[in-house]
A and B are shown apart, each in its own frame.
Chain A
Amino acid sequence: MEMSQPATTGTNVANAKKVGQYVLLLFLTFLVLGPFLLGLWTSLMPTADISKGALWSSHISLDNYVAAITTTPILRYLLNSLVISTLTMLFQVLLCSMSAYAFVFLKFKYRKQLFMLFLMTMMLPFEAEVIPNFSTVRSLGLLNHYAAMVIPFLTAAFGTFMLRQAFMQMPVELKEAADVEGLSHWQFYWHLALPYTKVSLMTLAAYSFLSSWNQYLWPMLTTFSDSFRPVQDGLRQLQGQESFNNWGMIQASAAIVVIPTLIILFVGQHYFKAGLNEGAVK
Chain B
Amino acid sequence: MTITLEQLSKTYEGSNQPVLKDVAVQINDGEFFVIVGPSGCGKSTLLRMIAGLTSISSGRLLINGKVANQMPPKDRNLSMVFQSYALFPFMTVAENVGFGLKSRQLSATEIEHRVDDALAMVSLSELRDRKPKELSGGQRQRVALARAIASEAKICLMDEPLSNLDAQLRAKMRVELKQLQRSLGLTVIYVTHDQVEAMTMADRVLVLNDKKVQQVDTPVNLYQHPQNAFVAQFFGTPQINLLKADVVGHDLIVDSVLRLPLIQMRLNDSKVLVGIRPADIQIKVGPQQANARVVTVSYLGDQSVITAVLNDSQRFRIVADSQLQVAADDLIRIVGVKEFDVFDMNSKELIASQRGDVNDATVAATEF
Contact = CB atoms under 8 A, between A and B. Distances in A.
Chain A directly contacts chain B within the complex, with at least one CB pair under 8 Å: yes
Interface of A: 3, 6-7, 10
User: From DSSP, what is the main secondary structure of chain A's interface residues?
Assistant: helix
B70 interface: yes
B215 interface: no
Contacts, number: 10
Nearest to B60: A3
Interface of B: 60, 67, 69-70
Nearest to B69: A7
Nearest to B67: A3
A6 B75 CA distance: 15
Contacts of A10: 69-70
B70 A6 contact: yes
A7 B60 CA distance: 11
Interface centre among B60, B67, B69, B70 (most CB of A within 10 A): B70
A38 B107 CA distance: 55
A7 B70 CA distance: 7
Contacts of B60: 3
Nearest to B56: A7
A140 B67 CA distance: 82
A3 B58 CA distance: 12
B339 to A, nearest CB: 46
Contacts of B67: 3, 6
Contacts of B70: 6-7, 10
B138 to A, nearest CB: 28
A6 B71 CA distance: 10
A6 B72 CA distance: 13
A23 to B, nearest CB: 21
A9 to B, nearest CB: 8
In the complex, the 4 A-B pairs of residues with the closest C-beta atoms, listed nearest first? A10-B70, A6-B70, A3-B67, A7-B70
10 contacts: A3-B60, A3-B67, A3-B69, A6-B67, A6-B69, A6-B70, A7-B69, A7-B70, A10-B69, A10-B70
Contacts of A6: 67, 69-70
A94 to B, nearest CB: 40
A187 B57 CA distance: 57
B9 to A, nearest CB: 15
B106 to A, nearest CB: 28
A10 B70 CA distance: 6
A123 to B, nearest CB: 30
